[in-house]
Homo-oligomer: A and B are copies of this chain.
Amino acid sequence: MLSNLREEGKLDPRVKRTRNLILQAFSGLLGEKGFEAISVQDVTDKAQINRATFYAHFTDKYALLDYAISRVFMQEIEKRTLNACSYTHDNLRNMIIAVCEFLSHLHHDCAQPHEQFESLVEGTIKKQIFDLLSHWLKQTKAKIPTEIPATVATWAIYGLASLYSHSKKRPALDKFVDDALPLVAVNLEQFV
């Protein structure tokens, strides 16, 4: 999951092409009609690929959502070169920013963020955050168990980003993170 994007370069060009077509069509549709209303047909029609081809890549539309969300989030992460590093306050800060930005963009781009959609996104993103955090924390010399602190931090970060992205009058992101960061960092001090 950490090297998703790098591995894609080596794929058969046809595979890259169809996946991109599917992703484009899907995100276009997300802007129009909300996830629940989208059928696999809709996606393959818009992408101009055969329906059978869709199933060669994804088991269903939920797998597609998962893939699409992960991919966009990963770009947000890689943009800040957070994918290959270890735990520091600065990295943590940037990760919080990344999640906030990601959710903000998502709410901006998607038509009617329904409940089901939101909770699917939450699951996918929390998994990504958890994996990345765990990876960071395992770099530390002291062999401290990481599962509990990583879990707490993951949920806290997602909760913060959710709050931020839903707030009517969205405050300056830097300011917001300044206030929030210490509350997350306090549980991770031992890994600095």
Contact = CB atoms under 8 A, between A and B. Distances in A.
Contacts of A145: none
Contacts of A48: 13, 16-17
Contacts of A17: 17, 48
Contacts of A50: 13
Interface of A: 13, 16-17, 48-50
A53 to B, nearest CB: 10
A49 B13 CA distance: 7
A101 to B, nearest CB: 29
A48 B50 CA distance: 20
A13 B17 CA distance: 13
Nearest to A50: B13
Nearest to A48: B13
Nearest to A13: B48
Contacts of A49: 13
Contacts of A13: 48-50
A49 B12 CA distance: 10
A141 B13 CA distance: 55
A179 to B, nearest CB: 46
Nearest to A16: B48
A115 to B, nearest CB: 36
A52 to B, nearest CB: 12
6 contacts: A13-B48, A13-B49, A13-B50, A16-B48, A17-B17, A17-B48
A120 to B, nearest CB: 30
